[in-house]
Amino acid sequence: MKTKLNLATCLIAGLAFGLSANAQKTVITKNALPANAQTFLKTHFPGQEPVNIIEDKETFSKDYKVQFTNYIEIEFDGKGNWEEVDGNHQAIPSSIIPKKIASYVTTNFANTIITKIDKGTWGYEVNLSNGLELEFNSKGNFIRIDN
């Protein structure tokens, strides 16, 4: 029984490695991004040109990573919807942050800036300049401080 379990574990690990080994990272131009991503960049980063755009193709998915000279990084899903904006310890554009979240941070953490926002199906995770990570639900309601 133990031998079968070990064999199954090895097969699953090998399959997972094989799928991830099919990943391809390619440098692309801004015009090759999905329309949603291009609109996002024009809206929130007007006049700024990315220095690096990577298309990451996995076996069953695709995503994009955009980097600017000021080290701000944006991750998009395969359809061009933003998933994460990372300012790398500097402020990200306030136009990206949902109003309810921005208001909460301004009210409760007045002397901080938002340096990163991560959008998932469950909600948002926001990093502040003081090192705190805050979690919000998908409607922008505060849930908790993440440790």
The domains of the chain are located at 24-146
pLDDT tens for each residue of 73-119: 999 999 999 999 999 999 999 999 999 999 999 999 999 999 999 99
Q: Measure the CA dihedral 98/128/121/43, to 10°.
A: 40
Confidence of residue 23 (pLDDT cuts 50, 70, 90): confident
Name the fold adopted by 24-146.
Inhibitor of vertebrate lysozyme, Ivy (3.40.1420)
Question: 0.85 cut: is pTM over it?
Answer: no
Task: Compute the CA torsion angle 93, 96, 98, 101 (nearest 10 deg).
Answer: -40
